Amino acid sequence: MDDVSKGYWSATLGLLGKILAIWFLVSFGAGILFVDALNGIKLGGYPLGFWFAHQGSIYVFIALIFYYAKAMGDIDRRFDVHED
């Protein structure tokens, strides 16, 4: 495997690792682990931990999908493997 391929996969796996870490923190962390601490904060009349467990994590996941698509497009263009 040449240096360009290694750089491409390193950038791709780095992005994927960051997105999965955010996904874990939001879904498992905010929805389960930190729910008691977050429930002291109200959002729209509901405890924040409850909100994250039921709605907030979905919004974050959708935002992560759009961010992943944009960031992968940037990585593809940087390594000249994009589709146009």
Longest dimension (CA), the chain: 55
Length of the chain: 84
Phi, psi of 48 (to 5 degrees): -60, -35
Closest listed residue to residue 39, CA positions, set 25, 24, 59, 54: 54
User: Cα Rg for the chain, rounded, in angstroms?
Assistant: 17
Q: What residue spans define the domains of the chain?
A: 18-78
What's the whole-model pTM score?
0.82
Digit-coded pLDDT (tens) for 26-83: 988 888 898 899 899 998 888 988 888 888 889 999 999 999 999 999 999 999 988 8
In the predicted structure, residue 1 carries a pLDDT above the cut 80: no
Query: For position 30, what pLDDT does the model report?
Result: 86
